[in-house]
Amino acid sequence: MATRTPLIAGNWKLHKDCAESVAFASELKAAIPADIDVDVMVAPTFTALHPVCEVVKGSPIAVGAQDMFWEAKGAWTGEISAEMIKSCGCTHVIIGHSERRQFFGETDDTVNAKLKAALAAGLVPVVCIGETDEERQAGKTFEVLETQVKNGFQGMAASELTTVVLAYEPVWAIGTGNTATPEMVQEVHAFLRKLVADSLQKELANGMRILYGGSVKSGNIAELMALEDVDGALVGGASLETESFSGIVRYKR
């Protein structure tokens, strides 16, 4: 089985202006050991991407954008392309976050278009999937996830998806304080890995990192990371404070 390096990613969402982002990035850089054996990524707002990239140079911290557009250029007022993100110094991009799906019209089709553009630009895409509480109560969790994965990866070969990271974020657990039980998380992550293996390629599935997102904090990260098919975390609120996020990153120590 392939060795998967854990990825701890912090999504800052609509928090921290440029000055606050730079100050926080400096604190994180000092708090995270240079020899940390996990990959670390933070996703500031668009306006702070370049200054944060400059601050974390020479550290284990990578920077990603919270979203992107699928076209490279054109009359698309307000949008940001993959190449623009990359030119800031970013290496990652979050695609299909539940808040983008819920509030901004993101669909599996737009996720697919963004994924293709991100890969073409050489960015590492963190593709988010997850069910709502209503879907979970109706017993549709696996059905929803299968649809999101298959449609999101539509028209792409396994060889094109080797850098993709999946992030399972049950919508009912995001920012609510509710975390899926370890048994629930492992069951879903194992399902996703088998889904990728069956629909694409076993080798791809073995190497693909699958993160968990949903009220992750320093108090539950070690338990989550002990699960066989959990390869990291997409952290929201707990990524906004140096002590809490560095504690999550240093879960082994």
By annotation, the residues acting in catalysis are 97, 169
237 is in an annotated binding site: yes
Instruction: Please state, in angstroms and as integers, the Cα–Cα distance from residue 101 to each residue in 54, 70, 218, following that order.
Output: 31, 15, 27
Q: Is 220 annotated as a binding residue?
A: no
User: Which contacts (CB < 8 Å, 24+ apart) does range 198-205 have?
Assistant: 199/149, 199/150, 199/153, 200/153, 200/157, 200/158, 200/161, 201/158, 203/2, 203/158, 204/158, 204/161, 204/162
| Cα(113)–Cα(43) distance, integer angstroms | 20
Instruction: Determine if residue 76 is labeled as part of a ligand binding site.
Output: no
* 29 among annotated binding-site residues: no
Q: Cβ atoms within 10 A of the Cβ of 22, count?
A: 18
Is 16 annotated as contributing to ligand binding?
A: no
62's tokens: 């990578």
Q: Rounded to an integer, what distance in angstroms lies between the CA atom of residue 167 and that of residue 210?
A: 6
Binding residues for substrate: 11-13, 175, 215, 236-237
Binding residues: 11-13, 175, 215, 236-237
